[in-house]
Amino acid sequence: MIISDALQLFTESLSAVYDKDEIDSIKYLVLSDILQTSKAKLHAFPDEKLDEATVQKFQQIIQKLQTGEPVQYILGHTEFYGLPFKVNPSVLIPRPETEELVEWVLSESQKLKVKSQKFDSILDIGTGSGCIPIALKKHLPQTQVTSVDISAIALQTAKQNAELNEVEVQFIEADILNPTHNPQLATRNSIIISNPPYVTEHEQLEMHTNVLNHEPHNALFVPDNDPLIFYRVIADFALQHLEPNGLLFFEINENLGKETIELLAGKGFKNIELRQDMRGKDRMIKANL
């Protein structure tokens, strides 16, 4: 088998599971990763022969992909904000929309520094793979960054990612729905940021099976009768644990932007700003005390 044959095999084998654009993205990602080469070289040398062990590895990956297992979990890693991250079924796969949230935080932190406003600590709630706090720490090395998650397994992955990216982040195992029981969360912070669970049970029907069947449900879903449960609890927490003029950032459910704004305004937050993501969907909110 040569490279062009392998690319065609991916296309034919995955057509029932993914659309053409997804297949093109997946097949070049896999071949580049396994062969340790670039997409450009795959295009330049389509007749290069593959050894039998490599062909078998491709076939095994295709079998997993046909079940809907995300390619990031199969390969064991992904990229977020230009940084490498290990991923597995205990953590959500980082999304491009969350990169936009990180970019917004970095932009606002720079404004705080220009104003000579105190800015020395960030708390990330619901850290998962650690993508948000690690990306922030990488670009704000003088800032103390702390992350919270209820899942010990997720925190283990986040710690590995911090080591991989050579940053120091404090990780705390805690349930943010019961934060008063953890003295480690008693400090105040310049910024609190969270990408909490926000997909309603009803919205599960619209989701791709590769998400439903493989990514952790406790990091995704909230009940239909209380879809803003995490936003309400974290907002209350922020009222007690943000420094004066501190900033609160959320990634949000695209269908609940108005409701999230109303929740924050009702609790006394000011200068509430809603932003859309690259696809034009309501996706993130900033507010301050």
- Domain count for the chain, please give it: 2
Amino acid identity at 111: K
Q: Which residue has the higher pLDDT, 83 or 205?
A: 83
Whether 242 and 143 map to the same domain: the answer is yes
85 token code pair: 């991250």
Q: What pLDDT is recorded for position 111?
A: 82
**pLDDT tops 90 at residue 186:** no
78 token code pair: 């992904």
pTM over 0.85: yes
Q: Identify whether the C-beta of residue 140 lies closer than 8 Å to the C-beta of residue 110.
A: no
Which domain does 29 fall in, by range?
3-67
The alpha carbon dihedral of 61, 65, 67, 73 has a sign of positive
**pLDDT tops 90 at residue 61:** yes
Q: Is residue 22 part of a domain?
A: yes
pLDDT band at 202 (very low <50, low <70, confident <90, very high): confident
pLDDT band at 217 (very low <50, low <70, confident <90, very high): confident
Whether 25 and 101 map to the same domain: the answer is no
Whether 146 and 262 map to the same domain: the answer is yes
Amino acid identity at 251: E
Whether 183 and 235 map to the same domain: the answer is yes
User: Tell me, what CATH number does 169's domain have?
Assistant: 3.40.50.150
1 token code pair: 């088998």
Q: What pLDDT is recorded for position 203?
A: 84
Whether 119 and 204 map to the same domain: the answer is yes
pLDDT band at 140 (very low <50, low <70, confident <90, very high): very high
**pLDDT tops 80 at residue 118:** no
Q: Is residue 171 part of a domain?
A: yes
Amino acid identity at 120: D
Q: Identify whether the C-beta of residue 138 lies closer than 8 Å to the C-beta of residue 159.
A: no
Whether 27 and 167 map to the same domain: the answer is no
Residue among 64, 89, 63 nearest 76 (CA):
89
**pLDDT tops 90 at residue 53:** yes
Whether 205 and 270 map to the same domain: the answer is yes
Per-residue 3-state assignment (H helix, E strand, C coil) for the chain = CEHHHHHHHHHHHHCCCCCHHHHHHHHHHHHHHHHCCCHHHHHHCCCCECCHHHHHHHHHHHHHHHCCCCHHHHHCEEEECCEEEECCCCCCCCCHHHHHHHHHHHHHHHHHHHCCCCCCEEEEECCCCCHHHHHHHHHCCCCEEEEEECCHHHHHHHHHHHHHCCCCCEEEECCCCCHHHCHHHCCCEEEEEECCCCEECHHHHHCCHHHHCCCCHHHCEECCCCCCHHHHHHHHHHHHHEEEEEEEEEECCCCCHHHHHHHHHHCCCEEEEEEECCCCCEEEEEEEC
